[in-house]
Amino acid sequence: MTGHQQVLSMPHLGGIEVGYKVLPETPHPSKPTLVLFNPFTTTSDYYQPEFENRDIREAVNLLAIEPLGHRRTQARIAENWTYRDSAIMSLQLLDALNIDKAFVSGTSQGGWIAMRMALLAPETARGPRMAFGRAPSRELGCWDGPTATSGLVTLGADLAPADDFEPGNDYRDFLMDIGYGKMVEDNVKAFWGESLKANHAGDEGKRRICMAAVTLASRDSLHARLPYGTGDVVFSFANAEQEIKLLGGVHFLSYTHPEIIHRELLEFIAKWKKDGVRAGL
């Protein structure tokens, strides 16, 4: 069982066709729901290992939502959007699927969308996880997203039709290096190379990938909106600094450490599902 790829229309921004993968096709009311958002210029196929994992399938309803500008999720009218818009359309999708509460998570940019959902509807979206790429973090050696995406951002300002556009091997290799690491397997690289060409071809594909790059570079000024503190008496900064060194994985961490990620995910959900994070409650 690998999930059912579907599309539903949501009203936000004058209409959005939202692409998503869900398992089971009708979320089971006795299980908590886990919402997943894929990384930049990938698709819900990124979460195929989770959909194929028996322990995860038995524990939760799985719902992988593709953000705006990614494969099947496309706005009918609007050509400009933010992560906030992807969060709002996702909340509308949850309502359409009769899911009142869900655990939300995402990889890379997906974490930003998950956090947006939690800020907009904290009683609906639970347990978001994310990582920052703001200026202070870049000064500490983190990835410089605005610079890395500047080529696509600049290309987006060129309004000349580009019917022959497609992401080339250089872009594919860029995505593989930053996400999967230098040791990415050839079959993974080949899969995403074909996916990128299929989903971002032609002038329409160019406009979508460029707008997705603008969204990634700006990130909604999200950091300033977070209600966080520095007085965590349970887990200290020093503890976090030490434990982050233990994995030694790549940015798309579930690629190199799937067993650890899946175990921690299921333990987290098992601990907190007592709060009523279920489908249809």
Q: How many CB atoms lie within 10 A of CB 71?
A: 21
pTM value is 0.86
How many helices (H) and strands (E) would you count in the chain?
13, 7
* 88 sits in which H/E element: helix 83-96
Q: Is it true that domain 4-275 has CATH number 2.30.22.10? A: no
Cα separation, 263 vs 259, in Å, equals 6
Coil, strand or helix: which one is 244? coil
Q: What distance separates the 2 farthest-apart alpha carbons in the chain?
A: 56
Per-residue pLDDT of the chain (281 residues; tens, 9 = 90+): 567 789 999 999 999 999 999 999 999 999 999 999 999 999 999 999 999 999 999 999 999 999 999 999 999 999 899 999 999 999 999 999 999 999 999 998 998 899 899 999 998 987 655 443 444 444 444 556 667 777 888 888 888 889 999 998 999 999 999 899 989 999 999 999 999 999 999 999 999 999 988 888 877 766 666 655 555 544 465 665 665 666 667 888 888 888 988 998 999 899 888 655 444 33
